[in-house]
Structures are given as C-alpha cells and as structure tokens.
Amino acid sequence: MALFTWDDRFSVNVREIDEQHKRLIGMINELHDGMKSGGGKAAVAPILKRLVDYTLYHFSTEERYMAQHRYPGELAHKTEHKKFTDKVMDFHKKFDAGTAAVSLELMTFLKSWLTDHIMVTDKKYSKHFNDHGLK
C-alpha cells in the first residue's frame, strides 16, 4: 500500500505543476518502498538522489512562474522552498556519510511537508497563475 496517494484536492489547477506534484508523491512512495524492502543504503540511495534532484527541478518551475507572473507571495514561497531544500540537503549529506538513514520519521516528514505545502502555500498561487493564463 502506498504511503501517499494523489487526491484531486491537491490540484493547484496548473497541469504542469500538478503533474510534478504527482511525480513527487510517486517518488516519496518509491523511497518508502525502498526503505521497507530492507535493501539498505544501496536500495534507497538512487531513489533519494532522484527525489532531491526532482524537488529542486520542481521548485525552479514554480519560482520561474512566480517571477514571470509577478506573484505577490513569491518571496515567502521561495523562503519555504529554501528552508525545505536546506533540510533535505543536510539529510542527504548525512545519509551519504552514513550518519543518517531513511526512516519512517523521514517519510512522515516528507509526506506532511508536501501535503501542507501544496494545500496551503501552493494553493495561494493557483488563482493568480490561472488569471495569468497558466492552466
């Protein structure tokens, strides 16, 4: 059973961003499955790396649209992205050094953070982006 399931209530009404969110959810589920498989670091390391890289790509997409369409909440939104990125990059560094492991605590954090971020922060730009032609 998946840790995290896409639900239409997550939609921000911008197809490209919704598809990216679905992919992030899929990667979180893949990481969770890798953790549960018992394959250790070898099983989860490539998944974690892809998740980190794709998260950066996704944030750059949102931030490009915010700048392009002069979204008034851009600075606060980018600050949330930076805090999350810093935390994930710190974890990834510790994971690579062997001082941290993918755990249920990490999985719960990723799921909660993404859910809250989409439902609260990302939903705020939905109307603004739609009003500027992003659908």
b/e string for 79-113 if b means 16 or more Cβ within 10 A?
A: ebbeebeeebeebbeebeeeeeebeeebbeebbeb
CA angle 124-20-15, nearest 5°? 65
Cα separation, 120 vs 114, whole angstroms: 10
Q: Output the pLDDT for position 7.
A: 93
User: Going by C-beta distance under 8 Å and a sequence separation of 6 or more, which residues neighbour residue 27?
Assistant: 47, 50, 51, 54
Angle between helices 40-68 and 123-131 (to 10 degrees): 40
Q: Output the pLDDT for position 85.
A: 94
Q: Output the pLDDT for position 37.
A: 87
Going from the first residue of the chain to its last (135 residues), give the mean pLDDT of each consecutive group of 10, the final group possibly shorter: 91 98 96 87 90 96 98 97 93 90 90 96 97 95
Q: Determine if the pTM surpasses 0.85.
A: yes
Q: Output the pLDDT for position 42.
A: 86
Pick the CATH number of 13-131 from 2.170.120.12, 1.20.120.50, 2.40.420.20, 2.60.40.420: 1.20.120.50
| Residue spans per domain, the chain | 13-131
